[in-house]
């Protein structure tokens, strides 16, 4: 199979559902070998079996992305299985839409840890591998909530703005090493995200939100730039939605 990512190795966090799963399919379709991670290992196993049918190699590591050991083991799986790591998609994340006065400190910690600490940990362990290769692409799956503030989403917005700031700073820090860092910022996407925490299955199904495959297309675009070009940020909305 001749694909745009033949010979490349991509690590995707939160690959058991939604956008991460769609990214895995999109990158595998272009020939990338994959390392997948999330907590639900039966889903990772099923996805890995499906993607191997495309002729790519797939490793997976089940674990909580908030634990540093999961990040360490998953990056190690890339180097052990494939001897390199070309692409990191920091996608694992969660939402919990609440007004500030209804939000507990524990809920703040859970969102910040799931969205930002995981991003830090996986990037922290992936970057030395990419620095030694003098190449790599790192993408943060942020959100339009990482670009604009929205009522009822203050803590979620804070976690997503944090990812954008992290990406902008690392772009400056890592570009001299040949590493491209960018943020993908979609509006609402039809996934399991925030179900029971501000979203319901019915409302998501009836909404005109983006499909996970739309976002995977943007991720693929950012992963397939020419050697001289890097995508710093992509903002996405459906044609039905105003910008904010």
Structure tokens at 182: 């960018």
DSSP string spanning 84-108?
Answer: ---EEEE---------GGG--HHHH
Measuring CA to CA, which residue among 179, 228, 216, 160 is closest to residue 30? Answer: 216
Span near ligand NAP by CB under 6 A; candidates 1-9, 63-71, 124-132, 175-183: 63-71
Catalytic residue among 97, 108, 148, 156: 156
Among 10, 61, 96, 188, binds ligand NAP (CB under 6 A): 188
Contact flag: residue 136 with ligand NAP (CB under 6 A)? no
Cβ atoms within 10 A of the Cβ of 213, count? 15
Contact flag: residue 19 with ligand NAP (CB under 6 A)? yes
Cβ atoms within 10 A of the Cβ of 74, count? 27
Q: Cα 83 from chain centroid?
A: 22
Give Cα separations from 42 to 10, 48, 205, 212 (angstroms): 20, 10, 25, 20
Span near ligand NAP by CB under 6 A; candidates 45-53, 76-84, 166-174, 189-197: 189-197
Q: Helix (H, G, I), strand (E, B), or coil: what is residue 68?
A: helix
Contact flag: residue 110 with ligand NAP (CB under 6 A)? no
Letters for 147-186 (x = contact with ligand NAP by CB under 6 A, - = none) are ---------------------------------------x
Residues 180 and 100: their CA atoms lie apart, in Å, by 35
Contact flag: residue 125 with ligand NAP (CB under 6 A)? no
Helix (H) or strand (E) holding 119: helix 118-133
Q: Is 97 a catalytic residue?
A: no
Among 28, 47, 78, 92, binds ligand NAP (CB under 6 A): 92
Among 8, 66, 98, 125, binds ligand NAP (CB under 6 A): 66
Span near ligand NAP by CB under 6 A; candidates 26-34, 59-67, 75-83, 175-183: 59-67
Contact positions vs ligand NAP (CB under 6 A): 14-20, 38-40, 64-66, 91-95, 114-115, 141, 143, 186, 188-189, 191-193
- Catalytic (active-site) positions: 156
């Amino acid at each position: 199979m001749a694909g745009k990512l033949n010979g490349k190795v991509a690590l995707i966090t939160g690959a058991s559902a939604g956008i991460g799963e769609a990214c895995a399919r999109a990158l595998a379709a272009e020939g990338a070998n994959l390392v997948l991670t999330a907590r639900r290992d039966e889903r990772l196993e099923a996805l890995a079996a499906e993607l191997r049918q495309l002729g790519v190699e797939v490793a997976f590591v089940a674990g909580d992305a908030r634990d540093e050991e999961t990040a360490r083991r998953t990056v190690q799986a890339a180097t052990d299985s494939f001897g390199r790591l070309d692409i990191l998609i920091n996608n694992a994340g969660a939402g919990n839409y609440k007004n500030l006065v209804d939000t507990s400190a524990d809920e703040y910690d859970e969102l910040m840890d799931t969205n930002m600490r995981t991003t830090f940990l996986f990037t922290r362990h992936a970057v030395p591998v990419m620095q030694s290769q003098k190449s790599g692409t790192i993408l943060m799956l942020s959100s339009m909530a990482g670009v604009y503030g929205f009522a009822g989403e203050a803590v979620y917005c804070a976690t997503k703005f944090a990812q954008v700031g992290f990406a902008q700073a690392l772009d400056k820090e890592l570009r001299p090493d040949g590493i491209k860092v960018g943020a993908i910022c979609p509006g609402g996407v039809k996934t399991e995200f925030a179900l029971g925490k501000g979203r319901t299955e019915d409302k998501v199904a009836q909404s005109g939100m983006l499909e996970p495959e739309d976002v995977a297309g943007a991720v693929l675009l950012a992963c397939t730039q020419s050697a001289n070009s890097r995508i710093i940020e992509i903002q996405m909305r459906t044609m039905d939605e105003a910008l904010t």
